[in-house]
Amino acid sequence: MIFRKLTMAAVILAAVSCVKESEVSSVTENTSSASCLMTKLTGNVSGEFIDGCLLLYLDEETTARYENGEDIADELFGEAGYTGFEKAISHKPKNEELARELGLHRWFVVSFDEDTPVEAFAEFIAVRPEVCAIQFNSVPKLASDCKSIPFRPQVRLSSSPTSRTIPFNDPMNPYQWNLNNTGDKNVAATAREGADVGVVDAWKLTAGTPDVIVAVCDAPVKYTHPDLAGSMWVNEAELNGAKGVDDDGNDYIDDIHGYNFYKRGGSNGSINWETETESGHGTHVAGIVAAVNGNGIGVSSVAGGSGKGDGVRLMCCQVFEGIYSDGDRGMSEALMYAADNGACIVQCSYGYPAGTFECDDAFIDNASLEYRALKYFTNPKNCNHPSLEANIAIFAAGNESASISGYPGALPMCISVTAFGPDFLPAGYTNYGRGCNIAAPGGDFWIGAPKEEDNISQILSTGLSEVSGDYIWMQGSSMACPHMSGVAALGVSYAGMLGKKFTDNEFKTMLLTSVNDINQYMTEGGKSFKDMWINMQTYHNRMGTGAIDAWKLLMQIEGTPSAMVQAGKKTQVDLSEYFGEGAADLTYLGVEIDDEAKKTLGLASNPKIADGVLEIVCMKNGSAKIKVSAIAGGVQLGGGSNIGGTEITREISIISRGVYSENGGWL
């Protein structure tokens, strides 16, 4: 596999990089080859691409001739000296009608000698009227430096007995600040309590359900890993079927836990982590979403179940082998496979580095095949969960420290995730700003212990014993992204449990507003990154809507309003916010709190209500529900009797955090 930087073609492309999609296919025939190329060529403007092949968008008529068995390759490319020609989406899509509507059937791959410059081949075939668009098979990057540090049990924490703990028996979970940050100074001198995904209390409601399938489009997931095997999606027909046979007829042979889109075709489709360049990236990402909770080994995860093997399921779409990929083509086919085989979330910790595409149209035109595949995945016709209107695509924002998200994450149809460290501050590597939607823990090596083996400010998850260990530390927006996917998966699970259904807009709105405010830390000061000091003001309001909080998402799905209170301080909550416009006619009767909620919130005393205001003092970080009851619409007479009042009760979720949010705390 050879990657090359674009040179001459990049110059040509500068002129056409922001044209509309429809214009790409409208070409004229009577032009010179160079100007034809200018009109037809799409590709990765400043990135890398794979030599020896081009993606072609052919006209409807020529596509039909190919589909009828005619040998059109010789006619089109005989003189150019091609070596291979086939459909880019070489497997049959389940929703063929939609795939055709999106023009996915018209994409082809032509191969030729790797010594032939791609630009020269492109120019040669651009004059053919049958060729509507030409795309370089561009190469996205994993959103991590792929450096892993093996977990060493000698690194100890000073766990405080009063701290909240993860309710599972997985021995490494005291190290998982990303799930439960106790503010331990061994993680980082600047660690902040609560700088996590807010999942500990959310687990009391759900820790995921197996009807939610998350497709991990990444390097291979080691499906035999003892902390992942129980969470893998299983294609039962293939598991119980014959080797070398497509037992379930989905056009993929032996896809028991997913498929290898890097090495396509036949038995090459088996997922393979035993290659020289492998880092464990995909296995690490998968473990953040759904390593098995409560199995007494290794780590816990966001949506890995409650200890009964009941977590969300992981589908492995291997699109990378080490750092190598099959380019746009492999990514596109993986997205279609995920849609066709039941995934409702695609977890994609890769993208084109920030700046490769400057605007949505640049991506849409230059990575047209992948854009169409994303449309296929997110089309309501392909939705794979009854609680959703459309599947959800979640991408890493990228790690170029740039003020723009990488693509595809930046597209409006995708959620782009930025990364923070155990101090709630942006990690120096993360992209931020334009196109970034939300933040999640991604780890920050630069604020941790100076000795690498003691540095536990990154994210601990499953790894490859073949490379650096069964459990490894890694960092990147690659690690932030699966936290978001895991929380989204919890949300879908909970919606399913409650029998609720949301529109695409409703669900995404809930996802992006279930956040803790992190802007308040970014007004002054800075943090170290490599040999630099980075100014926090740069990131103010630019990390997305805030830091994802699983409890808040589940509350929104329930429809239970939340009140933010500051841990350790008396907080006043105006109850009229929760009882609507008629609150003036309410007589509040009291507050009901069960013992578990009291313990979770560390309530110093029972909350009081006076003049429609709830006064509450929570001594701990935590989230729990209380019930406030009132007499509505009644007329109060003297002597404690009422006329015509109806007793009403409202649940309110109390979210106690070490800090108050900037907007006054109302969700």
Which residues would be at the binding site for Ca ion (CB under 5 A)?
170, 227, 238, 241, 245-248, 250, 252, 254-255, 292, 295, 298
Which is nearer to Ca ion, 255 or 444 (by Cβ)? 255
CB of 321 to Ca ion, least distance (A): 21
Which is nearer to Ca ion, 255 or 278 (by Cβ)? 255
Which is nearer to Ca ion, 117 or 226 (by Cβ)? 226
Which is nearer to Ca ion, 252 or 494 (by Cβ)? 252
Which is nearer to Ca ion, 129 or 244 (by Cβ)? 244
Helix H segments across 218-324? Answer: 236-239, 281-290
The CA distances from residue 221 to 314, 318, 358, 542, in Å, are 9, 8, 32, 32
Which is nearer to Ca ion, 123 or 255 (by Cβ)? 255
Rounding to the nearest 10 degrees, give the CA dihedral for residues 252, 253, 257, 258: -30
CB of 341 to Ca ion, least distance (A): 9
Residue 463, token pair as written in the block: 């790894």
The 8 Å CB, 24+ separation contacts for 157-165 are: 157/184, 157/186, 157/187, 157/456, 158/184, 158/185, 158/186, 159/184, 160/184, 162/620, 164/200, 164/600, 164/620, 164/621, 164/622
Cα–Cα distance, 490 to 486 (Å, whole number): 6
CB of 503 to Ca ion, least distance (A): 32
CB of 256 to Ca ion, least distance (A): 8
CB of 293 to Ca ion, least distance (A): 6
Which is nearer to Ca ion, 304 or 330 (by Cβ)? 304
Q: Which amino acid is at 539?
A: Y
Which is nearer to Ca ion, 252 or 407 (by Cβ)? 252
The DSSP code for 204 is G
CB of 237 to Ca ion, least distance (A): 7
Query: CA quadruple 252, 256, 260, 266: dihedral positive or negative?
Result: negative
Which is nearer to Ca ion, 150 or 568 (by Cβ)? 150
Cα–Cα distance, 67 to 305 (Å, whole number): 46
Rg, Å, the chain Cα set? 27
CB of 479 to Ca ion, least distance (A): 17
**Which of 623, 595, 627 lies closest to 164, judged by CA?**
623
Residue 330, token pair as written in the block: 């492999």
CB of 157 to Ca ion, least distance (A): 18
Neighbours of 66 (CB within 10 A): 20
Cα–Cα distance, 499 to 49 (Å, whole number): 45
Helix/strand/coil for 328: helix
CB of 337 to Ca ion, least distance (A): 10
Element (H, E) at 112: strand 107-112
